[in-house]
Every structure is written in structure tokens, then in C-alpha cells.
Amino acid sequence: VLLERELDEMIHDYAHLLSHRGFTLQRYLELSGKSTEALRQELRPQAEERLRKSLSLQKLVEVEGISVEESEVDQEISELSAQLSSPKSGGDATQAEALRRALAQPESQRSIRSRLYGRKALERLVEIGLGGRAAALETPSAQEPAAVGK
């Protein structure tokens, strides 16, 4: 069941990507001579790998007691809205507010929360891999001795 859901999500994501390029999934399948089932079989190894990684990260989140606070989700929404609606991106205040509303929808919040869990889990893995030295590597004082030696 989990693998089928992962495949469904991958196909949905692929259809979304195609739509940005002016294609529908159905049109892509016609042009490539594939059936939906053939596409699912083609994506199956990737889906299995994504699922293994996802389940491993979920277990790490559980074992390490990693949490994501509502304020972190709100902060991420604010940052995404600011980035995607900035003048550099061709955005404006109206677009920023529309984007903020879209990102505040439950489905978007679940996606953002999931991404934050993944980010925190990966940060924890790095910390474990470095024997707890990850925080020391990020602080300016840890970089000072190298700078002094120059």
C-alpha cells in the first residue's frame, strides 16, 4: 500500500512538472508510447528507494524525538512567500498574500511540515556522523583559529 501511494505521488508530481512544460500526462504517455502501468513499473525502483529513505528518516525522527513546532511551519511559509513573491522573482504584494494563503492550506502545511521533519532528520544524521561536532563547525568561533593562522 505504501509503495502504491508513493508511485501515485510520483506520477502526480510528474504530471505537475509536465503541465509546466505545456503537456498533460496523457499526452506524454501517448507520445512516448507508454501506458500508465508501464510508467508505474518504470518508476517503481525510484519509488522503492524514496520509500526506504522516507521510512528511515521517519524512524530517526521517532527515535531522536525530533519535532516541528507550528511556529516553524509559519516561519517557513513566511520565508517561502517572501522568496517566491520578491521583485527578483517578478512577484508583488498581492502575489505574496495569495501565495501565503495557498501555503496556509492544510495540504501545503503537511508538505511543509514533512519537509521540515526531513531537514531536521538529515541535520541530526550529519551531527551523529560528525560525532556531535556539527554545531561546532557552524559557529564562527570554530572558524576563528583557522582564520588566525593565515
The tens digit of pLDDT for each residue in 25-67 reads: 999 999 999 999 999 999 999 999 999 998 999 999 999 999 9
- Residue 2's alpha-carbon distances to 63, 93, 96, in angstroms, are 21, 40, 35
Cβ-based burial of 112 (10 A; exposed 0-12, middle 13-18, buried ≥19)? buried
- Report d(CA 130, CA 46) in Å as an integer: 28
* pTM across the whole model: 0.64
CB proximity list for 34: less than 8 A, separation 6 or greater: 42
Q: What is the pLDDT of residue 135?
A: 56
136 pLDDT band (50/70/90 cuts)? low
133 pLDDT band (50/70/90 cuts)? low
pLDDT beyond 80 at 85: no
Q: How far from chain centre, in Å, is Cα 56?
A: 16
The distance in angstroms from the start CA to the end CA of the chain is 58
Q: 516561519: which residue's cell? A: 75
